[in-house]
Amino acid sequence: MDIYQQNYRKLLQLLPGLHDMNGPAKLIALGHNDVNIDVIERHKHRLVLRMSHYLERLHGAAIPDPDMTIEVYLLAETVGVLTYCDCFGSRKVFCPELMAFSPLAKAELNHFLNQWLTKMIADERRQPKAEFVR
Q: pTM of the entire structure?
A: 0.86
Helix residue ranges per DSSP H, the chain: 3-14, 103-122
CATH number (domain holding residue 14) = 3.10.450
Which tens digits make up the pLDDT trace of 53-75? 877 766 767 666 789 999 999 99
Give dist(CA 113, CA 95) in Å, integer.
Answer: 19
Using an 8 Å Cβ cutoff, are 52 and 84 in contact?
no
Mean pLDDT of 5-33: 93
Residue 83 domain flag: yes
- Owning domain of residue 84: 3-122
Q: Flag whether 130 is in a domain.
A: no
Number of domains in the chain: 1
Q: How far apart are CA 129 and CA 60, in angstroms?
A: 30
Residue 127 placed within a domain: no
Task: For the beta carbon of residue 84, count every other beta carbon within 10 angstroms.
Answer: 21
